Amino acid sequence: MTERVTEIYSLLVPLVDARLIIPRGCVAEVIGFQAPSEMTGAPPWYIGTVPWNGKAVPLVSFEGACGQMIPPASGRSRIVILHCLGTRIEGGNFAIVSQGFPQLVRVSSDVLRPDNSRVFEERAPVICQVRMVNETPLVPDLERLEEMIADETTITG
């Protein structure tokens, strides 16, 4: 008999004015911020690549990918390495800049509710916003973000 999973471990990833909630299984590692190698001709949100496990991993600003101002890196900034959901990015990983250290949380239907107080652009890499106790994190569309990176890598690479 299979036991039904009722909780999912997730990371609350701090941005400038929001947080992302990302299932722990999507996260490969959280590393300290390091200056990326720039991508010539890439849009500003595609910050560049960072070395990780012997490969160059695309690094993006989530805020920038949503059309917002790209925050400068600080001493608290981290890089969240994510597993790709598709196959378009060589190496199978991409990364986003976090404005602080992500927090591990357990998420269940008891603490999670829809929050329709914000509207997002159709092409933005955001599925929705949720209410979780006293937080209102964004649920990122990691497939859309991966698609945006892959499209730019093809153009600039």
Q: What pTM value is reported for the model?
A: 0.92
Q: What is the CATH number of the domain that holds 96?
A: 2.40.50.180
Give the pLDDT of the chain (157 residues) as one tens digit per residue.
Answer: 577 778 999 999 999 999 999 999 999 999 999 999 988 899 999 999 999 999 999 999 999 999 999 999 999 999 999 999 999 999 999 999 999 999 999 999 888 898 998 888 888 999 999 999 889 999 999 999 999 999 998 755 5
* 35 in a structural domain: yes
* 3 in a structural domain: no
* Number of folded domains that form the chain: 1
The residues with which 59 forms a beta bridge, in sequence order, are 48, 95
* 2 in a structural domain: no
Ramachandran category for residue 75: left, alpha or beta (phi over 0 → left; psi -120 to 50 → alpha): alpha
DSSP letter string, 38-76: P-TT--TTEEEEEEETTEEEEEE-HHHHTTSPPPPP-TT
* 1 in a structural domain: no
Query: Which residue range(s) make up the domain with 106?
Result: 8-156
Whole-angstrom distance, CA of residue 94 vs CA of residue 112: 27
